[in-house]
Amino acid sequence: MRIFKNKAFNKWAAKEGLTDEALRAAVVEINSGLIDADLGGHMIKKRVALVGRGKSSGARTLVAYRVEDKAFFVYGFAKNAKSNIRSDELKGLKLLATQLLGYSDKELKKAVEKNVLFEVNNDG
């Protein structure tokens, strides 16, 4: 299972203190069926713990996801900053999910090399 962050999410996650370890743990939970919402179009909502805050007061992430294949963390927000996303935002994210999940290994490598995507290493 390959895990990626897009550029905007990577910047937000660094600011919030959201670690790659937490993202890996979230994907393990997702693979086990533990999600907060299936938003359709390969988009899911997943709560993740922030350092010192836990899940309930942590962050919400939106993930483009294909079972046992790839996960792309594309959007995140703190629970206290925003309750949910607008329908037009979700529509755009679903289009992005389709694009990202369709990338070949060659396209993924190129996106990582150009710092458009950041791969979360699975080795911890």
pLDDT digits (tens, 9 = 90+) for 15-46: 988 999 999 999 999 999 999 999 999 999 99
3-state SS record for the chain: CEEEEEHHHHHHHHHHCCCHHHHHHHHHHHHCCCCCEEEECCEEEEEEEECCCEEEEEEEEEEEEECCCEEEEEEEEECCCCCCCCHHHHHHHHHHHHHHHCCCHHHHHHHHHCCCEEEECCCC
The bridge status of strand 117-120 relative to strand 70-78 is unpaired
Q: CB count, 10 Å around CB of 53?
A: 15
Q: Is the pLDDT score of 98 beyond 80?
A: yes
pLDDT, greater one: 52 or 20: 20
What tokens were used for 123?
A: 């080795």
